Chain A
Amino acid sequence: MEIKVLEKGDKNMRLLIKGVDTPFVNALRRNALAEVPCMAIDDVVIIENSSVLQDEIVAHRLGLIPLKTDLDGYNLPEECSCKSEFGCNLCRVTLTLDREAKEGTVTVYSGELVSENPNIVPVSDKVPITKLVKGQKLRLEAYARLGKGKNHAKWQPVSTCTYKYLPQIKIDSKNCDACGKCVEICPRKVLEKSEGKIEIRDLPACTLCQDCMDACPKEPSAIEVGWEENAFIFSLESTGVLPPERIMEEAVKILEKQLKELASQIKVRKT
């Protein structure tokens, strides 16, 4: 097995994974999407809302604001020792919002939510919640908790999580006359022509569309696109709630936990 980081930013990550099979990377992808928990607002107590949006819509919009998550400091409410429906300090974070339009029309942004924990705040301050005209008020208390993407998309820590086979491009140098048709047609600029030869500029960008093979005037095509068995390019883009590498690590951890639980349930009787 071999893993290489192709790209890593504070929100996105691209890995080259060799030596695992499709069901395994798929399990990681599914876990990153549906099982890795993150924070989102789940209950809202509206104290006053004279905006044009109904309470339900405001609550829904609040729920969809990505919140920076602290996985080590908080428990999933269903696993928390408090066993309380209202939650405790270890499974719930309170955020408040108090805004009145004193002059003209104002937009209320996510950045105006005041959190009791300075680490659990909106990823972006610029998510509009609603607009208020002069005299309108929005006052509320919101409770955020950890949850899982399988129950609601607001608890999904990733915006995209995909994998694809590692492309393999072979150019038959004897057959190729460097006409450049394949370079021209490639939508991802994978190929380039240099010194009368076709070279691969950016292999991971290839989408395996095989347009270059069709465009090649040679018969049979001088360029051949295929993919490597058991080698994948895994891309993950976090919504900002957690660093991408943490999401990946959690996805593996959760898979291990699921497998251990299953193993403990299978009793093997020796005969």
Chain B
Amino acid sequence: MEDGGGKMKVNVLNKTENELKIELEGAGHTLCNLLQKKLLEDETVDLAGYDIPHPLASNPILYVRTKGDVKPEEALHRAVEKILELSKEFSKELKKALKT
């Protein structure tokens, strides 16, 4: 449910050594699709996916499973950082392109 001006909130649904299942309150396809893609590009990630059980009444559920002894939250954090870098570069390039 991407409603209101609500802040993003992460609820942990399930967590083991190399698995993480979280609910992302206030997020939607916009972010989850990006995250999934970036997680799957990560060599240490075994499986990554998300589901929005009901398009109006539920928040997306993101699932990450990692290989070896990499913590899933570490992989997730890395993915977020990577996208953040990308969007920073994008906004820089956009400014440059708009100036000329």
Contact = CB atoms under 8 A, between A and B. Distances in A.
B10 A2 contact: no
B67 interface: no
A268 B74 contact: yes
Interface in B2-32: 2-5, 7-10, 24, 27-31
A253 interface: yes
B32 to A, nearest CB: 9
A88 interface: no
A262 B94 contact: no
A269 B12 CA distance: 15
Nearest to B76: A266
Interface of B is mostly: helix
A76 interface: yes
A150 B73 contact: no
B80 interface: yes
Q: How large is the interface on B (under 10, 10 to 19, 20 to 34, 35 or more residues)?
A: 35 or more
Contacts of B81: 263
Contacts, number: 107
B97 interface: yes
Interface in B58-100: 71, 73-74, 76-77, 80-81, 83-84, 86-91, 93-98, 100
Contacts of B88: 256
B47 interface: no
B59 to A, nearest CB: 13
Contact of A263 (B71, B77, B96): B77
A256 B76 CA distance: 16
Given A249-B91, A266-B10, A23 B77 contact: no
18 contacts: A1-B86, A3-B90, A4-B97, A26-B30, A27-B30, A28-B90, A34-B30, A148-B5, A150-B2, A151-B4, A249-B95, A252-B87, A252-B90, A262-B10, A265-B8, A266-B77, A266-B80, A269-B73
Interface of B: 2-5, 7-10, 24, 27-31, 33-34, 36-38, 71, 73-74, 76-77, 80-81, 83-84, 86-91, 93-98, 100
